[in-house]
Amino acid sequence: MTSKKLAAVRGMNDLLPAEAPVWEWFEARVADWVRSYGYQLLRTPIVEHTELFVRGIGEVTDIVEKEMYSFEDRLNGENLTLRPEFTAGTVRAAVEHNLVYEGPRRVWSAGPVFRHERPQRGRYRQFHQVNVEALGFAGPDIDAEHILMLARLWKILGIGRVRLEINCLGAADERARHRADLIAYFEQHAEKLDADARRRLHTNPLRILDTKNPELAGIVAGAPQITAYLGEGSRAHFEGLQRLLEAADVDYTVNARLVRGLDYYNLTVFEWITDALGAQGTICGGGRYDPLVERIGGKPTPSCGFAIGTERVIELLKDAKRVDVAPFTDVYVLHQGGPTAIRALLLAERLRDAGLDVILHAGEASLKSQMKKADASGAEYAVIVGENELASDGAAVKALRSADPGAAFAQQRIVPFDELPDALVEALMQAEQAQERTET
């Protein structure tokens, strides 16, 4: 009896070897980028207590109401949830381990998050984020730092066609007055609201401003704007941010309708948006969340952060064909079995000791067949340990990529085993320098 073929859960995708180099390229640049700003890695569990997200994100948000993967632990009855975002868990870790009481912290995380949504391009049930948080910073200078960080990242990645929108949501009392007037305004148009807007009317009316329903555009356009409710402190913070962005020559648009879907935001919010991905145009969003640390059980701590949608950025990299992926391996070692296989095995280890990436052919096959696999591997060089080479205490080396007849090993030749590691390292350095000269 043939078993039914199993498939991945819809909206939870495999990362296949052919796609992995783009991710590795992106992740390597992200790690260098956050380090250049002094951010340290903080990893939190994928599973947290459900209460963390209810308390942190907000009970009447779409994430908590409809999108979280929550379950009861069969062993002890705890209510647990696959993390739908990073910030709440980061703050929980900072409070639990007293990180914020040792002074301000700059931390970052990356990995999968989970939301039960209808899968589409750039929107999946398991997706990935790069998350950056600054805990214990009160001024607009750290808000500006985050935006400047992102402007730099887009340049590093070679991503164009992105624009920045910012807004100020004010303090709690200012948002409360705005909220009351929003409810009163939308109640006057209740008969024209769609089901989502009616559901949010008395629980989270701010989210109605973010509706994607074009039939509500006119109503939303006439709604009270938060900017009219800002007090002196909120205005000063927002104006300070804008002065810093202008001094750094960062283009932006103030979007008075911009809100974020999480309850913990206050003051600054921002999004980086592209028109290249259809409806899923936001590739990064963030802002300030000063109330969150206290809400999760810590002392009042001003904080802000942002999250990058990794899959969406990867889509932009693929569309732009920007990624210059390095060869998967440096050397492919071939042999003829028997004593040559043993010598090839030991040689491969010596080459790895020299810092080279090496694939050693496994099993028996003709040299012609092995050479095809060597070429397909992306290796720069093929190293052949045949019976003749073994007899001469050396290996044959052949360049697989260079079209320059004067390049090292453009013509196959035998190199003594003892000299081979240094010879290959030198050849790879020369090839890299030649490539740099070509690019410049």
Residues in the chain, pLDDT under 50: none
Domain 331-428: homologous superfamily in CATH: Anticodon-binding domain (3.40.50.800)
List phi, psi (to 5°) of 124.
-130, 170
Task: Give the relative orientation of helices 310-320 and 140-157 as an angle to the nearest 10 degrees.
Answer: 40
The label of the residue with tokens 């980061």 reads 90
Give the distance from CA 100 to its chain's centroid. 24
Q: Top-level CATH class of 20-170+230-320?
A: alpha beta
Full 3-state SS string of the chain? CCCCCCCCCCCCCCCCCCCHHHHHHHHHHHHHHHHHCCCEECCCCCEEEHHHHHHHHCCCCHHHHHHCCEEECCCCCCEEEECCCCHHHHHHHHHHCCCHHHCCEEEEEEEEEECCCCCECCECCEEEEEEEEEECCCCHHHHHHHHHHHHHHHHHHCCCCEEEEEEECCCHHHHHHHHHHHHHHHHCCHHHCCHHHHHHCCCCHHHHHHCCCHHHHHHHHCCCCHHHHCCHHHHHHHHHHHHHHHHCCCCCEECCCCCCCCCCCEEEEEEEEECCCCCCCEEEEEEECCCHHHHCCCCCCCEEEEEEEHHHHHHHHHHHCCCCCCCCCCEEEEECCCHHHHHHHHHHHHHHHCCCCEEECCCCCCHHHHHHHHHHCCCCEEEEECHHHHHCCEEEEEECCCCCCCCCCCCCEEEEHHHHHHHHHHHHHHHHHHHHHHHC
The reported pTM is 0.86
Sign of the C-alpha dihedral, residues 165, 170, 172, 178?
Answer: negative
Amino acid at 135: L
The label of the residue with tokens 């990645």 reads 157
Sign of the C-alpha dihedral, residues 303, 248, 241, 286?
Answer: negative
Start and end residues for every CATH 3.40.50.800 domain found in the chain: 331-428
Start and end residues for every CATH 3.30.930.10 domain found in the chain: 20-170+230-320
Give the C-alpha separation, 421 to 404, whole Å: 22
What mean pLDDT, rounded, does the chain reach?
A: 88
Nearest residue to 382 via CA among 344, 419, 350, 337: 344
pLDDT tens, residue by residue, 413-431: 999 999 999 999 998 888 7
pLDDT tens, residue by residue, 332-381: 999 999 999 999 999 999 999 999 999 999 988 999 999 999 998 889 99
Strands 303-309 and 282-288 turn out to be: antiparallel
Nearest residue to 39 via CA among 124, 182, 135, 113: 135
The predicted pLDDT at position 325 comes to 59
Note whether 397 and 383 are within 8 A (CB). Answer: yes
Sign of the C-alpha dihedral, residues 287, 291, 294, 295?
Answer: negative
The predicted pLDDT at position 265 comes to 87
Nearest residue to 65 via CA among 263, 222, 225, 258: 263
What residues pair up with 109 in beta bridges, in sequence order?
A: 131
Strand order in the sheet with 303-309: 40-41, 105-114, 126-135, 303-309, 282-288, 266-274, 162-168, 253-254
Give the distance from CA 275 to its chain's centroid. 19
Nearest residue to 94 via CA among 134, 58, 55: 134
